[in-house]
Structure 1
Amino acid sequence: MLRIIKTEFLKLKRFHILLIGLIGMTLPAVLSVFTQSVVMEEAKVQNFNFEALVNSSIWNSVTIFMPVIFTLIGGYVINREYKDDTLKNILPVPVSFQRLLFGKLLTMGILSVLFGFYSYAVTLIVGWLSGVSGLSIAVLFTGFLQMLGISAFTYIALLPILAFTSRKPGIFMGGVIVSFLYGYISMFIKNVTIRSVYPILSGLTVMRFDTGTFMNTSEPGNLILSMLSLAVMLLLTIAIVMLTNPLQTVLKRKKRKSAGIFLRQGQKGR
């Protein structure tokens, strides 16, 4: 498995889609500062300090940017095996598709945490350049742990979508749209029970993120329900991966390609 993960990271270095991820994970902090500067006075966050900036950046990341970016990059990496027609070479090797897929998903999981660290660093830089006050050791430490932890849990919440869209080539963009709606809808969930079991928000509960400023509710989510929700996402992902068999898809593509070559040769013969 470590060899698969190492190979995937070597492949990622050649993909320009990582640049999209870096740009996307820069936007939460920029959006937080920009929104604070343009909204009406009554809508502004009072005492917008570094803690408020970090919290706002995390909220924007979870509800808008992370679902799209994680699903886009993860789906793209998996779909390359179909698009480049490399599965026909991989499947005969004693590495099952399920093991390969688990390796890719783990790679994207590590990358999601790295993206979280990158977003945290960008938030600090944007706050410093914008003259935001209130930076302290406590804010640095808490923000760091929450950003990395929530990045990992948000990715876990998206895993079933990634696993399901890996079953056939070219459908991962549909997963990106679903992930966007998945994150966007979370902004309107007020009920504490639903908020606890809704996977995108479960990570916020586990990491003790204060959603009061963003959801107009001070009632904390249920930690046990949130952990169970994330566990269900992991089990569902494992089930989907184990039931995924790309061999039929590969064989169908080979048959269509062979049929196309045969027809072209026939036309030339005439």
Structure 2
Amino acid sequence: MSLINRLLYQRFPFHLVEQSFWPILVSFSLLNLTIGAVAYMHGYPNGGLIFTLGLALTIGGMILWFRDIIIEGTFLGCHTIEVQKGLILGFILFIISEVFAFLSVFWAFFHSSLSPAVEIGGIWPPQGITALDPFAIPLLNTFLLLSSGAFITYGHHALIQGDRKGAIFGTLLTIVLAVIFTALQYIEYSEAAFSISDSIYGTVFYASTGLHGIHVIIGTIFIAVGFFRILNYHLSTNHHVGFESGILYWHFVDVVWLFLFISVYYWGGN
């Protein structure tokens, strides 16, 4: 029985997901992307080519996967109230898992900074490390990220109230601020006087801020997909669970950055 026929005759509100090729494709694409990135960083031949291929396959797989989910939720009516409840619960559990991922990084930071080992001079930052000025790019990025959180909230409320222009404006401005944030963090990395291999300070600094930077990029993709769907009239005032999930993810990224700025940049750099 085809998906459309099954939806017409099923007597329950849940969505039985069809078999899809995209999860396995994205999984192997990410593996290829990781291998290529490591090979490129260590100077192996064709590392950049493998990385580029993995990136292209990952982006392509994500686009096709997103397309199928949009079709299911927008045009086939698969995302009923019960399905939306399950999606929201699943996303909340995903956010909780992300909290523990960052918790492990903060644990490593405070374990090393609160009681510096003699091997690094017994001080924090370690001897020979010139920490970044927290009131330069980090402070500007804090302003940008918090502002983006306010604008995406404005866009969300505008969508709920049926204000299409407000929803488009708030979401678009959030994307612009997110891109600027990422560009400034790249500049910050380029101008830093230490690398990830410079003692435990460099390791925990780049592990924490880099992990957050990856989450900013992923969150930007989530918000961009929501922006695309708003432009194409996919979202209604009471049916936009994917957009709400992206907003929840973005607020999580905001909160994590506040902890990073206060602990890693301000307290840990002085």
- TM-score normalised by length of structure 2: 0.28
- TM-score normalised by length of structure 1: 0.28
User: More relative contact order in 1 or in 2 (CA 8 Å, sep 6+)?
Assistant: 1
